[in-house]
Chain A
Amino acid sequence: MDYKSIKKFTMKILNSLKTLTTGNKKLPQTASGLALATHPQSGTDAASHIEIGAGSNAHSSVGSAAKPARMETRGLTVMYGKATGVHNISIPIHTRKVTALIGPSGCGKTTFLRALNRMHDLTRIARVTGEVLLDGKNIYDSDINPVLIRRRIGMVFQKPTPFPTMSIFDNVVAGLKLVGIRNRSILNEACEKALRQAALFDEVKDRLGDAAVSLSGGQQQRLSIARALAVEPEVLLMDEPTSSLDPQATNRIEELIHSLKKEVTIVIITHNMQQAARVSDYTAFFYMGKLVEMGKTKSLFTNPRQKKTEEYITGRFG
């Protein structure tokens, strides 16, 4: 018994356990609980499409581009102890569109966003009620494994969060390594694809082995986006992704969002009205933990139905 065979054996056991706990018996067994299926509509560069198997059976073996996840919230409420974070939010998250969440600080945008991929599970005092439906299935159901949900719904944070001890390459493929992909050529391919999607590849292609923290702030943020994209999520949540960046880097990220929405559903929080108007298709305005209104970005900005919305977007408060 050498190290590798022991590892293989352990992975096998872990995988069967994983399948048991997620209740997904249909998942084809590969080295990692991942289904490697040929992509029906893929272009030339992506010969194999990596699809994260998850608990939902509506979405089991078809690639995300072929049948993207539908997402909506119903009566979503998050409480921090006795304080209400957001109250009774019911909105659709339009597939392969960009939905912007706007509102003054403390209005519950971030609280809402973090409820969409169960990040509140990590905060002991937060309690989530209501539903977040992904393909008709509530992600808060007891038979859902939050780890698998987070693989389908990725997240990018306000500050760049490269893992400081890892190289650029290792950062990008960190999520893939988590699900057990060790094949170097698959990793290389996925790394290049994600970096290209994040418009970072040309800048770092000759120094993938360098420390991730050697990059500039804007590059680090694009690296964080590439890392989130590498696991091929169906939905990408972005919490003020440009707030710590200069205008030029902001511009690049906005272009990136624009090109990404062809493949991924995006929900973005922004404090910048112009940015919301530029990048999003739909906008939801939050105020004091409640949804004031949501609509097509164009109509919300040109013809808001609520007075509060008008006051906010014209800069009278917030």
Chain B
Amino acid sequence: MMRLQSQVKSTSILYRWLGDRIFTVVVVLLGASIILITAGMAWVLFDEGGLALREFGFFGFLSGTTWDPAVQLQFGAWPFLFGTLVTSGLALLISIFPAIAVGIFSAEYAPKWLSSLIDNLVQLIAAVPSVVIGIWGIFVLAPWMRETVYMPIYLWAETSAPGLIPILGHPIGYGMTTATIVLSLMIVPYTAALSKDAIESVPKEQREASRALGATRWEVIRMAVLPYARSGILAGTVLSLGRAIGETMAVAMLIGNKNTLPFSIFGAGATMPSVIVNEFREAVESLHLSSLMAIGFVLFIIALIVNLLAAWIIRKYSISGGKVV
């Protein structure tokens, strides 16, 4: 013990006191900066979008159905809000069950090597740049969908149910349906990975308790695993919705970019991110630019709501140490 004591470097009291202070200051500054940056972003979007928001009113802007930067200089975000909600919501609906199934398979059924292979592939899909997925959509998916799905249905509708034509829209290949399908593919990895994490964190005791009651594999999942993992799965789903809402490039490449309602099933549409990326370069009118900024502000608020919702779900439904918190 004595020998160890003699090895300890003598450090002055001042050094210790000062070191502690400096470290604290650095950590607090860096930690606070993230709050400042976020608040600053919100403020800039709000400030820059202020012109449009004052001109049309916040709710007027949201519910305005005309987006005409050329002639009337009338800006309403409703077409894009609508396009975003429909594509993201449907993409979530399409992807949620396959994604949870991937999570269950990887966590419960697959042998270890297959499970890690799946995990890596899922991460790979998530890592593919969205512009690459967009290219694939343009050259592969959209033409294929046009030839095998849209055209036959359109031709059938033309002869047998002409009333459906306006709802179906022009089968150009680029439109709401194509964008929704690509979106759903893009968010599968997020839901799957988060579901798998949630399923894996279910305690062994819960599984064994249901096994000991004579539950089969599927019954263990239904009785012990999924109820326990529900908060993680739900939160993962909501975060995936956030991804879908914010997805820009692939959607802008595939949705056809039509600024006026009504949108149709196969026909072109637009989302909030897609209209921003398509128009900000040519927005010369300050009201036009301000309107795009205001859309950015709305997106920011939606992202905030989605994240708060996910946090709330985790708080409300999560289970720790056998207790419902």
Residues of A whose CB lies within 8 Å of any CB of B are: 52, 117, 119, 122, 147-148, 150-151, 154-155, 157, 159-166, 174-175, 178-179, 211, 213, 220, 224, 227-228, 231
Contacts and interface: CB of A to CB of B under 8 A. Distances in A.
27 contacts: A117-B212, A119-B208, A148-B214, A150-B213, A154-B212, A154-B213, A157-B205, A157-B209, A161-B206, A163-B210, A163-B223, A163-B227, A164-B227, A164-B228, A164-B324, A165-B228, A165-B324, A174-B213, A175-B214, A178-B213, A178-B219, A179-B214, A211-B324, A213-B322, A213-B324, A220-B322, A228-B212
Contacts of B215: 147, 178
B112 to A, nearest CB: 8
A161 B230 contact: no
B224 interface: yes
A178 B206 contact: no
B319 A165 contact: yes
Given A166-B227, A213-B323, A220-B322, A161 B205 contact: yes
A122 B212 CA distance: 11
Contacts of A117: 212
B219 A122 contact: no
Contacts, number: 77
A92 B50 CA distance: 83
Interface string B225-257: 001101000000000000000000000000000
A52 B213 CA distance: 12
Contacts of A227: 209, 213
Contact of B214 (A150, A161, A162, A224): A150
A310 to B, nearest CB: 34
A148 B214 CA distance: 6
A220 B206 CA distance: 13
Given A151-B213, A164-B227, 19 more contacts: A52-B214, A119-B208, A119-B212, A147-B214, A147-B215, A151-B214, A159-B322, A160-B322, A161-B205, A161-B208, A163-B227, A164-B319, A165-B324, A166-B227, A174-B210, A175-B214, A179-B214, A213-B322, A231-B214
Given A151-B213, A174-B213, A228-B213, A159 B208 contact: no
Top 9 nearest A-B pairs (CB, nearest first) are A151-B214, A155-B212, A161-B209, A175-B213, A165-B227, A150-B214, A164-B319, A161-B205, A213-B323
B323 A164 contact: yes
Contact of B206 (A150, A163, A175, A179): A163
Interface of B: 205-216, 219, 223-224, 227-228, 230, 319, 322-324
Contacts of B212: 117, 119, 150, 154-155, 157, 228
Nearest to A155: B212
Contacts of B228: 163-165
B208 A122 contact: yes
B325 to A, nearest CB: 10
Contacts of B216: 147
Contacts of B209: 157, 161, 163, 224, 227
Contacts of A224: 209
A155 B207 CA distance: 13
Contacts of A166: 227
Contacts of B208: 119, 122, 155, 157, 161
Given A174-B210, A175-B213, A161 B322 contact: yes
A148 B216 CA distance: 9
Contacts of A122: 207-208, 211
B313 to A, nearest CB: 14
B211 A165 contact: no
A164 B323 CA distance: 6
B205 A150 contact: no
B211 to A, nearest CB: 6
Contact of A163 (B214, B224, B230, B323): B224
A303 to B, nearest CB: 36
Contacts of A147: 214-216
Contacts of A150: 211-214
A164 B207 CA distance: 12
Contacts of B206: 161, 163
Nearest to A152: B214
A184 to B, nearest CB: 19
Nearest to B215: A178
A178 B205 contact: no
Contact of B223 (A119, A162, A178, A213): A178
B140 to A, nearest CB: 39
A139 B55 CA distance: 79
Nearest to A175: B213
Contacts of A154: 212-213
Nearest to B112: A124
Which of A150, A151, A179 is most buried by chain B, counting CB atoms within 10 A of its CB? A150
Contacts of A157: 205, 208-209, 212
Contacts of A211: 324
A219 to B, nearest CB: 12
Nearest to A18: B216
A157 B210 CA distance: 11
A159 B203 CA distance: 12
Contacts of A175: 213-214
Nearest to B204: A122
A148 B211 CA distance: 11
Contacts of A163: 206, 209-210, 223-224, 227-228
Which of B205, B208, B213, B319 is most buried by chain A, counting CB atoms within 10 A of its CB? B213
Contacts of A178: 213-215, 219, 223
